[in-house]
Amino acid sequence: MRSDISFDWIAFPEGEFWMGSDPRWAAAPQPDEMSLHRVDLPAHRLSRTPVTNAQYAEFVAETGHEPPGHWVGCCPPSQIANAPVTYVSWQDAHAFCIWAGGRLPSEAEWEKAARGPSLESGSDHAAPTLWPWGDDLPGLEHAHFDEQRRGIPPGMQGPHPVGEKPAGSGPWGHLDLAGNVWEWTSSRYEPYPWTDDRDADPGTMDLVTVRGGTYNHDLCGVRSAARTPVYPAARDVYIGFRLACAVDSSPIAGIDMIEIPAGPFWMGSAPVEKSGPVFPDEIPRHAVTLPPFEIARCQVTNTEYRQFVLSTGHPAPAHWPAGAIPAGLERHPVTWVDWRDASAFCDWAGVRLPTEAEWERAAAGPGSRLYAWGDDQPDATRLNLAGSGTSPVGAFPSGATPDGIMDMTGNVWEWVQSRYAPYPYRTGYGREDREPPGRRVLRGGSFLTHDPGLLRTAARSLSHETRRREHIGFRVARTRGE
């Protein structure tokens, strides 16, 4: 995978999902979507958003590949730089993927991104949802769609910048899976049930499948199961693509890790800060230098924790009825876990909890941001704050760090590896030791946090390591090279 072009990846664990449609549904499906069937896929990664004109321009500049016809010369107009690239054939998209070190997603991989994992057989909620965000009818907060029917003049119609509709996020956190542009897949258009031998050849003339609907499709056309056959030579304002790539099959294959480079940063707070009062245990502000490490983009979810429970026999969280994830909480952070539960998960997955210093470096950056996203005050667009419960991980992209780390503020407090001890932070003195039992640091605030001071990247909390509550979870980290 190229390191000089940025893709926001979301990883999937191996496992089953529901593909297709059931003819008994109230919203009658098209014949080519039937029947509803389970598909088992290996672990893989899919980009959060479609490839943009700006990203495609780097490919054109480096390779001399023919630019899309609506560009001015070899450069996209500035007003569409962050919109999905269009007027690209299947072969154009395939060439970009090879250059970028990825590939087009299969039709099944694309639909799993829109549908999420299948649930337990016999559950009332076992059937997949109609749209990536659920079964609520699409609105303009969810997707860019139905422009022609809404009376938008033809000259004003077209794709919008990627990632503008966070309310339309899929179950894994992908954006723009409904509307905006169709997306090329790697798969030939063939009847169901799905088989894994459908990858088209680079020179194919067979019909291939596009997915997701466009800015001019109605609510049926942007359903997660909707399929459309298109000749691969087509180049159209309606068609773009996103990337996929394989991942290893380790227990954390579904956990997307963000690399943090080595270097110094400022940890803690000065006795007097321009931002307002600070807590005594944040003082003094001091320089800490860390080696490179990786930290998870999101908090560990109930679905990820369930793999650990099934593999090891570890007790399930107390709020799981009969050991099953409550319906609708699959992509929410796992809670009701103490520090030793979190550590056991990490042992199983071959990772660890972040140290307190790593957590603050990931949240604050080398320049000591006041909040994870910057210095602007918290609001309901950036985090799950003072609410009635957890939210799905990654549901607040505007609250992410510049590195793309989600939910460092709000949602749930996060256990870290470190014992609670006075500053300055030093790695010695048993601060990171597992024994003996004691008080551990919690970071980030939760949906129950009302004091904005506790949401700052420097703020610290603590609990005895045996504490379990509905507003405490964790994320994982690892040393580079592990």
Average pLDDT over residues 76-102: 94
Tokens of 75: 């450069």
Residue 121 has pLDDT above 50, yes or no: no
The chain-wide mean pLDDT, for the chain, equals 89
249 vs 79, which has greater pLDDT? 79
Q: Which CATH number applies to 1-249?
A: 3.90.1580.10
Q: What pLDDT shows up at residue 123?
A: 42
What does the alpha-carbon distance between residue 116 and residue 17 come to, in Å, rounded to a whole number?
6
Average pLDDT over residues 100-127: 76
108 vs 429, which has greater pLDDT? 108
428 vs 90, which has greater pLDDT? 90
From the CB of residue 2, how many other CB atoms can be counted at a distance below 10 Å? Answer: 13
Lowest mean pLDDT among 5-9, 45-49, 122-126, 469-473: 122-126
Digit-coded pLDDT (tens) for 142-158: 999 999 999 999 989 99
The CATH architecture to which 257-479 belongs is: Alpha-Beta Complex (3.90)
Q: State phi, psi for 278 to the nearest 5 degrees.
A: -125, 165
Q: What pLDDT shows up at residue 272?
A: 74
Q: What pLDDT shows up at residue 124?
A: 41
Q: Which residues of 42-53 are buried (b: 16+ CB within 10 A; e: fewer)?
A: ebbbbbbbbbbb
Q: What pLDDT shows up at residue 273?
A: 72
Q: Tokens 């630019």 identify what position?
A: 67
Digit-coded pLDDT (tens) for 369-396: 999 999 999 999 999 986 789 999 988 8
Digit-coded pLDDT (tens) for 201-243: 888 789 999 999 999 999 999 999 999 999 999 999 999 999 9
Q: What pLDDT shows up at residue 385?
A: 80
Average pLDDT over residues 67-85: 93
Residue 119 has pLDDT above 60, yes or no: no
Digit-coded pLDDT (tens) for 312-327: 889 999 999 888 888 8
Provide Rg for the chain, Cα atoms: 23
Q: What pLDDT shows up at residue 481?
A: 63
Domains of the chain by residue range: 1-249, 257-479
Tokens of 374: 């910057």
What does the alpha-carbon distance between residue 181 and residue 177 come to, in Å, rounded to a whole number?
9
Residue 120: pLDDT band (50, 70, 90) is: very low
Average pLDDT over residues 271-285: 84
What does the alpha-carbon distance between residue 215 and residue 353 come to, in Å, rounded to a whole number?
43
374 vs 8, which has greater pLDDT? 374
311 vs 365, which has greater pLDDT? 365
Domains 1-249 and 257-479 share a fold: yes
Q: Which of 253, 390, 257 shows the shortest CA–CA distance to 332?
A: 390
Q: What pLDDT shows up at residue 187?
A: 96
Residue 330: pLDDT band (50, 70, 90) is: confident
Residue 6 has pLDDT above 70, yes or no: no
Q: What pLDDT shows up at residue 250?
A: 57
Average pLDDT over residues 452-471: 94
Residue 3: pLDDT band (50, 70, 90) is: very low
Q: Tokens 């045996």 identify what position?
A: 466
Percent of the chain with pLDDT strictly greater than 90: 66
From the CB of residue 122, how many other CB atoms can be counted at a distance below 10 Å? Answer: 6
**Chain centroid to CA 165: how far?**
14
9 vs 29, which has greater pLDDT? 29
Residue 281 has pLDDT above 50, yes or no: yes
* pTM (predicted TM-score): 0.62
Residue 252: pLDDT band (50, 70, 90) is: low
Residue 459: pLDDT band (50, 70, 90) is: very high
